[in-house]
Structure 1
């Protein structure tokens, strides 16, 4: 049985689905039915072929060979194929070179039967490449049987990469001036700070409250728990934070979320919220959901700080360790009398300065303990302590640290996969508590398709909703990480999916735009704001980059366009994607190239085809092709199916 590719919808939404599930669908396809048998037959028998005649006499081998290079329609033209194989490509008058069709050149080179060449049929790596091309061509053909435009889009994307090579990750020519400045600044900072500049800092109370007020559910939770009036909504952020902190100090005895929502205190806080919500007459089900969601979000926000504060509280209560740390970290003399949460932050900030980490499980580990002890020895010597006193203190501290922390239980260590999953889940919990984002994501991810008949998404538990969100995100976009989904290379696709599904559901253009704008703003605030802040420190870099010389020594834009226009299907693809009239094809080729260049510069920001494969430009080009194909109803133009057969394959 042959696997049929699944494309649930046409246009951009269908393309995004196909791209996100491509690897899984492709693997299922090549392992199914006749395709698998033909591939295995070719792999087992091609090594016995020593001449073009051997290949032409085995039709089953030949079918794989010609299809790999897009020449299946020529399979019955035996003389033509034999000449292409036997004459090779070294001579300018060889048939493959005179056909003005790159498919024949690649077909001839792949098997090496021409003058001065060695047969490639015994080279298993080269023949596996032929099989891979055959399987890709077959999959694209199968996609075409479901949706012709998808087939052409797949061909175009593959052909562009084959002609111009894989995109260069270090190429910045396709980025805007600002994006290049950000990139250059980031690289410069990494060189200055070194590769390991990822030690978590100590989150201040102010920072934690700033995170809280960005999350609608947490604002609701604290407005109720702290008895904040509705009028507070009109306050500026800093005024609102100050109000929260003052009320928290009165009600909880501390304004530090790490303290009042620690493991031993959070049940009391959640109970206070529920009690106050009941007094206010709030709906019981909504109250329970808000409490559960707030607990999930707050747990993630403070988990590391709370765990490390417990570690440092233990240290501060062990007199030998407290004295050791006072010297090693050069702590203030009154550290013992400071408020606990303040003291813990001082300990941790000083530890990062001295040891490079605030986690005792790391700086007291077997690998780092000697360096930690050396920090103490140096500071103690500078402070005038005697050698005997230093040695005695070191022995005591070493024994306690080894006994207490030398087990490798780093707060952020252990199961890295579990930590990454927890961070991803925390992102979803945050958006689930927002005002505008859930509606946007529910539509973009089409969560209703994952529900049983009669089931309502909002009635599900938070964990059930989380599972559906993550599964649908992976299915449609290949990732459940909201930092990736909301980044510059994915948010456009998510927005397109939302718009497509909302339009299909009959939503008005006004509300589509309204909710899209709200969602983009909230998602950017939650997941991208740290990456998009333009620091004044690199304003000079911006100015310098404006004058960057983007010239290169590669092929000119014109020669690249001539390469594309030598392939009819690629020309047709570009014509539709760029929104050009068919009459361009009737122009003189030099005039046509100028038209293509001007339009590409206008639409994509570059007139050089080799740059179309960089960044997200190729996906943008495919999206434009698919959208215009739907709008134009290409039945009156070229047939994408027949055009696809002419496209460069290989």
Structure 2
């Protein structure tokens, strides 16, 4: 039986536990027999693959390749994935560039089949880069089996800082991401059912306004500050716990109790904000 990550409680308290134990839990998870076999097979065979057609023809390789970019659910869309890989990541007409989900472009760029440099599969360190990402995503998926909000928080913590450092970082990348957008929307108190129906330019405008109001800047570069990333995750989890928790009293809510007891300005402000909206 494979190791299953433990999250004893929901909300911010559960997140604090996960943060403290993440390294040890992830190490135990990665010792699982199935994961070990998948990583070993990919490492041994990916260097022989020189085209998108060869990759999609091998389901075991494709599983790791897609899983590394959070696209595990696309594994049966072979024709679609082949087109993404074949057309590369640099031309404006390429499918990966046109798609709103940025993971497709990352996938196409990493493998390089459709780009000027050609296949990257035999480059030194390529297999390790992909399998390391796959193991991280697999751990997050396992966390998500217990608590989907924790998976989203882990993903946000890992991805938003990297996105924020990119020169062409854009809120459009957040809007298009199936894993980043839910965190941002809930952290900013936006109704996902109606917000997602807005024109993307209007969505971007609102996200910039919310970010500026909270952090003093509308630029994604604010998330190079880990304290701001933590604040977003706390807001996301607190709101999620209020929406999903068994209690209806703001005073009894574990999320609000923890936020109130921390005593710092950011958390106290969040407590007051959430309490006033009930």
TM-score by length of 2: 0.80
Residue 610 in structure 1 maps to residue 221 in structure 2:
yes
- Give the whole-Å Cα distance in 2 for the aligned partners of 1:144 and 1:89: 30
Residue 567 in structure 1 maps to residue 177 in structure 2:
yes
Q: Which residue of 1 aligns with 2:3?
A: 3
Deviations 1:451-500 (A, max 9, x none): xxxxxxxxxxxxxxxxxxxxxxxxxxxxxxxxxxxxxxxxxxxxxxxxxx
Q: Which residue of 2 aligns with 1:74?
A: 74
- Give the whole-Å Cα distance in 2 for the aligned partners of 1:40 and 1:105: 26
Q: Which residue of 2 aligns with 1:396?
A: none
Report the Cα offset of residue 612 of structure 1.
2.3
Deviations 1:58-100 (A, max 9, x none): 2111111111112222212221122222222232212222223
- Give the whole-Å Cα distance in 2 for the aligned partners of 1:47 and 1:568: 30
Q: Which residue of 2 aligns with 1:27?
A: 27
Report the Cα offset of residue 115 of structure 1.
4.7
Q: Which residue of 2 aligns with 1:294?
A: none
Check the 8 A contact 2:155/2:179 in 1, yes or no.
no
Q: Which residue of 1 aligns with 2:234?
A: 623
Q: Which residue of 2 aligns with 1:165?
A: 165
Change in CA separation of 1:76 and 1:577 when aligned onto 2, cut-off 3 Å: same
Residue 17 in structure 1 maps to residue 22 in structure 2:
no
Q: 1:587 aligns with which of 198, 221, 227?
A: 198
- Give the whole-Å Cα distance in 1 for the aligned partners of 2:212 and 2:99: 32
1:98-113 matches, within 5 Å, as: 98-113=98-113
SS at match of 2:170: helix
SS at match of 1:100: coil
Check the 8 A contact 1:96/1:104 in 2, yes or no.
yes
SS at match of 1:124: coil
- Give the whole-Å Cα distance in 1 for the aligned partners of 2:155 and 2:67: 14
Check the 8 A contact 2:109/2:115 in 1, yes or no.
no
- Give the whole-Å Cα distance in 2 for the aligned partners of 1:132 and 1:41: 14
- Give the whole-Å Cα distance in 1 for the aligned partners of 2:49 and 2:198: 46
- Give the whole-Å Cα distance in 2 for the aligned partners of 1:33 and 1:153: 27
- Give the whole-Å Cα distance in 2 for the aligned partners of 1:618 and 1:627: 14
Check the 8 A contact 1:143/1:150 in 2, yes or no.
yes
Q: Which residue of 2 aligns with 1:331?
A: none
Q: Which residue of 2 aligns with 1:251?
A: none
Q: Which residue of 1 aligns with 2:243?
A: 632
SS at match of 2:224: coil
1:528-539 matches, within 5 Å, as: none
Change in CA separation of 1:601 and 1:125 when aligned onto 2, cut-off 3 Å: same
1:108-507 matches, within 5 Å, as: 108-165=108-165
Check the 8 A contact 2:46/2:121 in 1, yes or no.
yes
Residue 600 in structure 1 maps to residue 214 in structure 2:
no
- Give the whole-Å Cα distance in 1 for the aligned partners of 2:197 and 2:146: 32
- Give the whole-Å Cα distance in 2 for the aligned partners of 1:91 and 1:594: 27
SS at match of 1:90: coil
Report the Cα offset of residue 599 of structure 1.
2.4
Change in CA separation of 1:80 and 1:138 when aligned onto 2, cut-off 3 Å: same
Q: Which runs of 5+ in 1 are unaligned?
A: 167-553, 635-650
Check the 8 A contact 1:92/1:98 in 2, yes or no.
yes
- Give the whole-Å Cα distance in 2 for the aligned partners of 1:59 and 1:34: 15
Moved more, 583-592 or 617-626: 583-592
Q: Which runs of 5+ in 2 are unaligned?
A: 246-278
SS at match of 2:55: helix
Q: Which residue of 1 aligns with 2:42?
A: 42
SS at match of 1:53: helix
Check the 8 A contact 2:85/2:113 in 1, yes or no.
yes
Check the 8 A contact 1:69/1:133 in 2, yes or no.
yes
Change in CA separation of 1:109 and 1:596 when aligned onto 2, cut-off 3 Å: closer
Deviations 1:212-266 (A, max 9, x none): xxxxxxxxxxxxxxxxxxxxxxxxxxxxxxxxxxxxxxxxxxxxxxxxxxxxxxx
Check the 8 A contact 1:560/1:610 in 2, yes or no.
no
Change in CA separation of 1:119 and 1:16 when aligned onto 2, cut-off 3 Å: same
- Give the whole-Å Cα distance in 1 for the aligned partners of 2:240 and 2:37: 35
- Give the whole-Å Cα distance in 2 for the aligned partners of 1:589 and 1:56: 32
SS at match of 1:21: helix
- Give the whole-Å Cα distance in 2 for the aligned partners of 1:627 and 1:94: 40
Check the 8 A contact 1:88/1:96 in 2, yes or no.
yes
Report the Cα offset of residue 14 of structure 1.
0.9
Check the 8 A contact 1:120/1:127 in 2, yes or no.
no
Change in CA separation of 1:590 and 1:90 when aligned onto 2, cut-off 3 Å: closer
Report the Cα offset of residue 568 of structure 1.
4.1
- Give the whole-Å Cα distance in 2 for the aligned partners of 1:121 and 1:600: 39
- Give the whole-Å Cα distance in 1 for the aligned partners of 2:217 and 2:90: 35
- Give the whole-Å Cα distance in 2 for the aligned partners of 1:84 and 1:14: 38
